[in-house]
Structure 1
Amino acid sequence: MKFSENWLRELVPDLPASEQLEHQLTMIGLEVEGSETLGVGLDHVVVGQIVACARHPEADRLQICKVDAGEHGTLQIVCGAPNARQGLKAPLAMVGAQIGELKIKPAKLRGVESNGMLCSAKELGLDADASGLLELPGDAPVGAALVDYLGLPDRVIELGLTPNRADCFCVQGIAADIAAANGVHLSQEVQAQVGPAIDSTLQVKLEAGAAAPRYAGRVIEGVDPDAITPLWLAERLRRSGIRPVSFLVDVTQYVMLDLGQPMHAFDRDLLKGPVGVRLARKGEQVKLLDGREAALDDDLLVITDADRPVALAGIMGGADTRVTDATRNVFLEAAHFAPEAIIGKSRRFGLHTDASHRFERGVDPHLPAIAIERATQLIMDHAGGKPGPVVVETLDVHLPQRSAVSLRRARLDRVLGVQVPSADVERILSALGMTVETTADGWLATPPSRRFDIAIEDDLIEEVARIHGYDRIPTTLPAAGAHIHAPTETRITAQALRAHMVARDWQEALCFAFVDLPLLERWGLADNHVALANPLSAELGIMRTGLLPGLAQTLAYNVARQQNRVRLFELGNVFHANGNDAPIENAHFAAVATGDAMAEQWASGARAFDIFDIKGEVEALAAMAQCTLEFVASAPAHAHPGRSADVLRDGKKIGWVGQLHPRLQKQLDVDTPVFAFELDVNALVQRKVPRAETLSKFPAVRRDLAFVVGEDVSWAKISEAVRAAAGESLKSLLLFDRYSGKGIEEGSKSLAMGLILQDNSRTLTDQVANDVMQAVTERLSHDFGAVIRS
């Protein structure tokens, strides 16, 4: 929210200096994000009038202008602005003026003398418009100092308002807060009632129930179509970040900035009537002010003319009924729309308008008629016309009501830690527009209709604290003792997981928790998804059901930028719908990789990352948890057939590991295979408490065994069988060779493994070791048809 400091000072007299004022605004919760001083250093800049123009003989784009500077005489100025013309009044920087870093001196441009410079708004630092000279009204006094005429210097202050302070999206709301903070009275502008001069009206129909409980309208006939926006009003708009467009539009924008009530002006001659508010019907369309045809859904509010949609209620007006430079008869509208009926609707059309920004947060339901009267007065003052009566239709049962809120003295003191005098509490609440009653244990305060954010006792405590002054509340450390909780050894911490992956040459990524539904559908992960009621955009409308889709897109983004070896991991939450209950939220751990297995080096040749590498990463995580995992072949929609496995712990699935499907790889536009895993964190991080054991004093015995089995028999199954057959004497098992080819029957493979045998109470004899090897051989032969390789 941008506004002019001079405008604020008109409403609240006796305010402190600018720097202190900005500090006060921030301290009462209206954070100042920035400010800019306008009109400083514009000495020797006056109002000039071009009395004659002639083309420069040596340059087609330059004109030689004779400019009347009042008491300073008539000056010759060479000007290249496209809108320079006879009769135009514009800022004139005379010799000696300092415009930015440019010192104005007598000069020759292409051989023609120039004694000054005609200026644009950007050159003066008043606006970003550099398209031409700043055009001043025809009644601007020639020769007058520009700063005096424009009410400069001024300061533009920009606030970063929180969504709950919708009442401060207008200058009157900001003025009410700052007046309360300084203990001064707000100098309210007189809201005169403009009586009707004609009987012309348009019937109003409310057909949207609680979504639109109030609508006000007024017909004004005979408005001067040539009326121009008065300078003071245009400057207030410009300093609030709104560029003046035309008189009628500027009036509605000004009232919105002043009171906080969005308005719209229709061309009365383009309306048939009655005017109504209803929900759109599926398939209807409306042409908006920006020229686009908007296809409507049945949850959108529309303004209708004879049941024909002519505007998106609370968002943007329609092009077919807009006011133009030829409009003589106007229909002004101002309405109250429930925030829940407007929230998120504008984003469907890629819009974020000033009106929707305010309606989404809540607008005072009593403002529509007041805004109509204010706009009428401005139109009558500057463009004439004859107003009809104000027509206000209201569904009283649906209007929001502000209920009284109790504030207990004891609760206020306990929360703030300091006792604010009772008289100050009553003054603060009353200054903020509340009706205050004293009770036995405190107060009963009824907030004004504009304060949608005050509903509970803590809201009143916040109001007292911020107006009393946070800096006047002493900082006190809590007296309670601190309890240090020792971390449990039964779980691996998230920090340890991250450190483990970083140590293994992986990089952590943080992806959006919001994704696009088509993305989840391509991955086959769209089941039980959770849709956002108010998404940031259509592409971020669904809570993610898995980490891999977003992580894979991040990998593709890096590959597209010449990163040939990418290894990314993420630890984050995923979400699944749970009927009418709150969504189920689980922590997952995922990783994706492509390119070489190791960074480029001299010690070994390049080798592509493969399925065994990604499986090894999962097993390394399992080693942290001191558990053994099982890998069972699977084929989810996103996985490469034959290179994919579910990960099981104690017989329960905890995740997936494998290679992405070539279809997905192609969509990602990645040339090399992409490998990934995704695991349930809670199932992964559980571990037994480490327990110390005595190291054996007796020597270990190693026996090697080579055998031939079918190609379809996995090492995991063989390992499980060997451990079961060998018993407690087997301390370690390793696979050190795999061979298939010449000398091995087709469809078979040769595996060679080493068994490390050891006992804590004795030295193992050859007979014991032979018995173990015999048991292992028989078990492999029985279970897998294994044959000892000669």
Structure 2
Amino acid sequence: MRVPLSWLAEYVELVPGSTPEDVHAALVKVGLEEEDVHTFDLSGPIVVGEVLEFVEEPQSNGKTIRWCQVRVAPEGETAADGGEAVHGIVCGARNFFVGDKVVVTLPGAVLPGPFPIAARKTYGHVSDGMIASARELGLGDDHEGILRLSTLGIDAPVGSDAIALLGLNDAAVEINVTPDRGYAFSIRGVAREYAHATGARFRDPVEQSSPVDAAVDAFPVEIRDEAPIRGRVGSAVFATRIVRGVDPSRPTPAWMVARLKLAGIRSLSLLVDITNYVMLEFGQPIHGYDLDTLRGGIVVRRAKPGEKFTTLDGKERTLHVEDLVVTDDRGPIGLGGVMGGAETEMSDATRNVLIEAANWDPVSIARTARRHKLPSEAAKRYERGVDPEIAGPAVSRVAQLMVDLAGGTADAGGSLIHEAPARQAILLPDGYVSGLIGVDYTDDEVHEALAEVGGHVTRVDGGFEVVPPTWRPDLTGRADLAEEVARLVGYHRIPSELPVAPPGRGLTRSQRIRRGVADALAASGSTEVLAFPFVSEAENATYGSVDGSPVASVRLANALDASAPFLRRSLIPGLIGVARRNLSRGLTDLDLFELGLVFTPEAGRSYGAPELPVGARRPDAETLAALDAGIPPQPRHVGVLLTGDLVRKQPGRAAEPVGIADALDAVRRIALAAGAEVEFVQGAHQAFHPGRTAEVRVGGTTVGYAGELHPRLTEQADLPRVVAVAELDLDAIIAATEPAVEARPIGTLPAATQDLSLLVAADVPAAEVAAAVRDGAGELLEHLELVDDYRGQGVPAGSKSLTFALRFRAADRTLTAAEASDAKLAGAAVARERTGAAIRE
């Protein structure tokens, strides 16, 4: 919202000498965020001049210029630039006559651009200044000819300061209006806020305008809303006034043009400018109809299926059954609260005007504006809520301006439908505001602040009963009233204190491990991402269940995306979404990870937070227990996704595509950072490639899965065929891991190394064979590692050859080859007993 200061000063007493920055500072105190300062960006000398004579001089380029003699100061006086009273000026426009008074920019002036003015030789003359057009002055877009003051109804003495005369010395402050404070989309609302900030006297423009007499029915109006949204009628207030005999050809006064320009609205015509002016002044959108084009009375209703309507911008629109329309006997003549129709708009031929102001349901207007992509100034105000009490005064204000400026005659009365419900009282208990804000407010401070906002405040037993003002639809509960008290008494009263951390604590064990895991993955070249936690039901069923059995999910009450209304049970869908986005942008080699919460509710159980008491005291144990019980389990997982090449092709080295081994390596890095011993066993998960899936265990507990994504899923997601993924329950890993890791002594004696190749059935997991060898080899075995898994020539069908590298070491002696061999064979014997493995010769 842009607020011209001269306009603001009409309704509130500005502090003497206030600059735009001072006004911004005052408004910031009451919570209105500053945006910018707007001026006409020009400087003088710019004066009123009178054309004394001119000579038309055709040029060789086909253009005809006028060599003008223009008086810029009274006879016998020096001009504002220090020169003669009469200046010779070259002008290319031809829309003026001898005797016309015009705006002359003298040498030394600067026009918007910036465009400095100086005496310069052109077309064989020295042009000592310039005769300006409206566009050159920043007043509008008209550049067809120079600005004749008579067209604005101005007759000022020669040499007068044209900057002040045209209102070009004004400035506007721009503020950001949040959705809950729609009343600030008006001079009236901002003036009231400035009064709150400074204590200045506020003069309500609505009180200076006469209301519409509800007993007079000057024009037939009917509201037929047979399909209200959320039980709210589309229009509860509808006011009209009639002005006859207007002259639409009259110019818009310069002060109105300047104010509209500073407020960001282009001057169109006198009648339209008046409706826009009152909209900015009151915050009540106004629409004017050419009365002679109306057929019958007005009916407000919902649109019919397939009904069409042409708006003021000339576009034919197919209406929706939720759209509110203003109709006459022919059909729609206005899209209620958004934009009027082309057939009944005010034009140069208009002589009689029907003025309309209504109060529309914010939800209906917001939906209509977005549905038809019509973010009009009217819709912007209606969707935030407009004061239902000002429709009558607003149409009376427009009627008075049309009488004063357009020469019309207003009918004695008007039409008014007023069915807006009365505001309900809110009970504000004693101590509530202080308890919520954390400041000791006195009863007098609370009473005065709410009364200053405009509320009707009554003292009752145990507190106050407050009826909010009609222009504040956002005040619906006692917390809103408490915020108003804090805002008006002053945010400076709210203490700014950081809690003191208990000494000697620092991060918890879980926090240290989580940071260590993230650091380890990032240090290995993986990129941390943060995906949205919202997924579809199908994604939760696919990735949140191991075997495809039904899973319970948390459904959002108000989802951002209707196609993803559930909270995730797995991190993999989010990682897939990030991978797809990066692949679409040409990034083919990806190594991603995410640490985040998943949501695993129990089937058949509903969740929800209880209402918490507001106050300074901490909730009791029972309330906190109920709060915890209302939250579904939220374990913290870590997910990894890799695709493309782990090592890119380079001279002397072939590319190394990612695979299951890279997912397993990522799991090992996570386990190392968490201080855990992981075990991989052959696993099965519906989202993973059959045969390329590892079940990850810690201490015998399954904590996740690693492997390659199922090709069917990669195809559906437009990903490469091979995508390595892993997802682990990090909380479960931390819980299954000993708090402290015992350091092993470093061996100083030589180690004995041997290999062991075993033949075993192909369906026996290598981890089971390794565990058996480890148990059988005893305490001399220091390290065991699988180095080869061979299946092919020389190995019986249905079998595989597993080769393990073994390292033996004793703490008190150097082992002999025989001792190492005996330990190896003991391990092989246990492996044969448990898994049927045989030593491969």
Q: CA 1:171/1:551 → structure 2, altered by over 3 Å: closer, same or farther?
A: farther
**Structure 1 residue matching 2:13: 3-state secondary structure:** coil
CA deviation vs aligned residue, 1:66-95 (integer Å, no higher than 9, x gap): 47555454643344xxx8734698643222
Is 1:567 matched up with 2:577? no
Gap change, CA 1:51 and 1:493, over 3 Å in 2: farther
Q: Write the letter of the residue equivalent to 2:183.
A: D
Residue 499 in 1 paired to residue 519 in 2? yes
Once the two structures are TM-superposed, the CA of residue 4 in structure 1 deviates from its matched residue by 0.7
Report the Cα distance in structure 2 between the residues aligned to 1:542 and 1:58, rounded to whole angstroms: 73
Correspondence for 1:450: 471
1:139 lines up with 2:153 in the alignment: yes
SS in 2 for 1:352: coil
Moved more, 172-181 or 277-286: 277-286
CA contact (8 A) 2:29 2:490 kept: yes
Matched with 2:262 is 239
1:191 Cα deviation from its structure 2 partner: 0.5
Aligned match of 2:547: none
1:4-58: per-residue Cα shift (whole Å, max 9, x none)? 1111111112425123332111111112222234455232354677987968624
Please, which runs of 5 or more residues in structure 1 have no aligned partner? none
Query: In structure 1, what is the Cα distance between the partners aligned to 2:531 and 2:69?
Result: 61
User: What does residue 169 of structure 2 align with?
Assistant: 153
**Inter-partner Cα distance in structure 2 for 1:197 and 1:52:** 58
Q: Taking structure 1 as reference, are residues 204 and 341 closer, same or farther at Cα in structure 2, changes over 3 Å only?
A: closer
Name the CA distance, whole Å, in 2 between partners of 1:289 and 1:236: 24
1: distance between equivalents of 2:637 and 2:403? 65
Distance in 2 between the 1:499 and 1:681 partners? 14
Q: Is contact 1:436–1:446 with CA below 8 Å preserved after alignment? A: yes
Give the drift of 1:560: 5.9
Further displaced range: 307-316 or 169-178: 307-316
Q: Which amino acid aligns with 1:187?
A: R
- Write the distance in 2 (CA, Å) between the matches of 1:227 and 1:439: 57
Structure 2 counterpart of 1:192: 210
SS of 1:203's equivalent in the other structure is strand
CA–CA distance in structure 2, aligned partners of residues 740 and 611 of structure 1: 18
Cα distance change, pair 694–251 in 1 and its aligned pair in 2 (3 A): closer
| Cα distance in 2, alignment partners of residues 194 and 37 from structure 1 | 37
Distance in 2 of aligned mates of 1:761 and 1:48: 116
What's 1:609 paired with?
Answer: 658
Q: Say which of 734, 738, 742 aligns to 2:785.
A: 734
Alignment of 1:701-740 (within 5 A): 703-708=754-759, 715-716=766-767, 718-719=769-770, 732-740=783-791
The AA in structure 2 aligned to 1:354 is E
Of residues 352-361 and 554-563 in structure 1, the stretch that sits farther from structure 2 once superposed is: 554-563
Task: Report whether the alignment pairs 1:772 with 2:827.
Answer: yes
CA offset digits 1:491-534 (Å, max 9, x no partner): 6654334322211112233456679x899899999997967858
Aligned residue for 1:569, secondary structure, equals strand
CA distance 1:601–1:37, shift in 2 (3 Å): same
Q: Give yes or no for the alignment of 1:408 onto 2:425.
A: no
Q: Which runs of structure 2 are paired with 1:440-589 in the superposition (5 Å)?
A: 443-471=464-492, 473=493, 475=495, 477=497, 482=502, 487-489=507-509, 494-511=514-531, 545=568, 551-552=575-576, 554-555=578-579, 558=582, 563=587, 565-572=589-596, 589=638
CA RMSD of aligned residues (A): 4.9
**Match of 1:620?**
669
- Percent identity reads 29
- Aligned AA (2:210): A
**Equivalent in the alignment of 1:339:** 362
Stretch deviating more after TM superposition (157-166 or 242-251): 242-251
Deviation at 1:607, TM superposition (A): 2.3
Q: Is the 8 A contact 2:681 2:767 kept in 1?
A: yes
1:705-746 CA distance string (max 9 Å, x none): 223456666545655665677788866431112345554467
In the superposition, the TM-score normalised over structure 2's length comes to: 0.76
Residue from 181, 185, 190 that aligns with 1:165:
181
For residues 188-227 of structure 1, the aligned pairs below 5 Å read 188-189=204-205, 190-193=208-211, 199-207=218-226, 208=228, 210-218=232-240, 220=242, 221-227=244-250
Residue 658 of structure 1 aligns with which residue? 708
Amino acid aligned to 1:501? L
Change (3 A) 1:711 1:219: farther
Q: State the AA in 1 paired with 2:825.
A: N
Q: Which moved more, 1:579-588 or 1:184-193?
A: 579-588
Among candidates 447, 451, 460, match of residue 430 of structure 1: 451
Equivalent in the alignment of 1:93:
105
Deviates more, 1:608-617 or 1:116-125: 116-125
Which one-letter code corresponds to 1:707 in the other structure?
Answer: L
Moved more, 436-445 or 722-731: 722-731
Kept in 1: contact 2:682–2:765 (CA 8 A): no
How far is the alpha carbon of 1:474 from its aligned partner? 7.6
Residue equivalent to 2:286: 263
**2:3 maps to amino acid:** F
Deviations for 1:577-631, whole angstroms, at most 9, x for unmatched residues? 9998669795654444444314788896542333422342234324444244556
Give the Cα–Cα distance (whole angstroms) in 2 for the partners of residues 609 and 740 of structure 1.
22
Partner of 1:116: 129
Structure 2: gaps of 5 or more residues? 74-84, 545-550, 609-630
In structure 2, C-alpha distance between the alignment counterparts of 1:275 and 1:154, rounded to whole Å: 41
1:11 aligns with 2:11: yes
- Residues 405 and 455 in structure 1, CA contact (< 8 A), matched pair in contact too: no
| TM-aligned CA deviation for residue 155 of structure 1 | 2.0
Whether the 8 Å contact between 1:336 and 1:368 is mirrored in structure 2 is: yes
Match of 1:85, SS state, is coil
How many angstroms does 1:170 deviate by? 1.2
Aligned-residue offset at 1:365: 2.0
> Aligned to 2:739, what secondary structure does the other structure show?
coil
Q: Would the alpha carbon gap of residues 7 and 299 (structure 1) be closer, same or farther in structure 2, given more than 3 Å must change?
A: same
User: Following the alignment from structure 2 to structure 1, what is the Cα–Cα distance between the partners of residues 723 and 145?
Assistant: 59
The residue type equivalent to 1:774 in the other structure is A
| 1:779–1:415 CA distance, 2 compared to 1 (3 A) | closer
Map residues 56-67 of structure 1 onto 2, 5 A cutoff: 57-59=59-61, 63-64=65-66, 66=68
Structure number, greater radius of gyration: 2
**Equivalent residue for 1:360, pick from 383, 395, 412:** 383
CA distance, structure 1, for counterparts of residue 367 and residue 695 of structure 2: 40
Q: CA separation in 2, counterparts of 1:124 and 1:747?
A: 91
Q: Which residue of structure 2 lines up, in the alignment, with residue 374 of structure 1?
A: 397
Q: Secondary structure at the match of 2:425?
A: coil
The one-letter code matched in structure 2 to 1:249 is V
| Whole-angstrom distance in 1 between the partners of 2:776 and 2:717 | 48
> 1:207-248 deviations in whole A, cap 9, x for unaligned?
435242513132535443434433322322221122233334
Measured at CA, do residues 697 and 163 of structure 1 come closer, stay the same or move farther in structure 2, by a change above 3 Å?
closer
Q: Structure 1's 432 and 573: CA in aligned 2 closer, same or farther, altered over 3 A? A: same
CA contact (8 A) 2:72 2:86 kept: yes
Are the aligned partners of 1:435 and 1:446 in contact in 2 as well (CA < 8 Å)?
yes
Q: Could you tell me how far 1:557 is from its partner in structure 2?
A: 5.3
Say whether the 8 Å CA contact 2:643–2:724 is kept in structure 1: yes
- 2:24 corresponds to which of 22, 25, 32: 22
Deviations 1:690-713 (A, max 9, x none): 344474798876553223456666
Q: Relative to structure 1, is the Cα distance of residues 513 and 181 closer, same or farther in structure 2, using a 3 angstrom cutoff? A: same
Contact map agreement 1:731 1:757 (CA 8 A) in 2? yes
Structure 1 Cα separation of the partners of residues 51 and 693 of structure 2: 80
Distance (Å, rounded) in 1 between the aligned partners of 2:416 and 2:761? 86
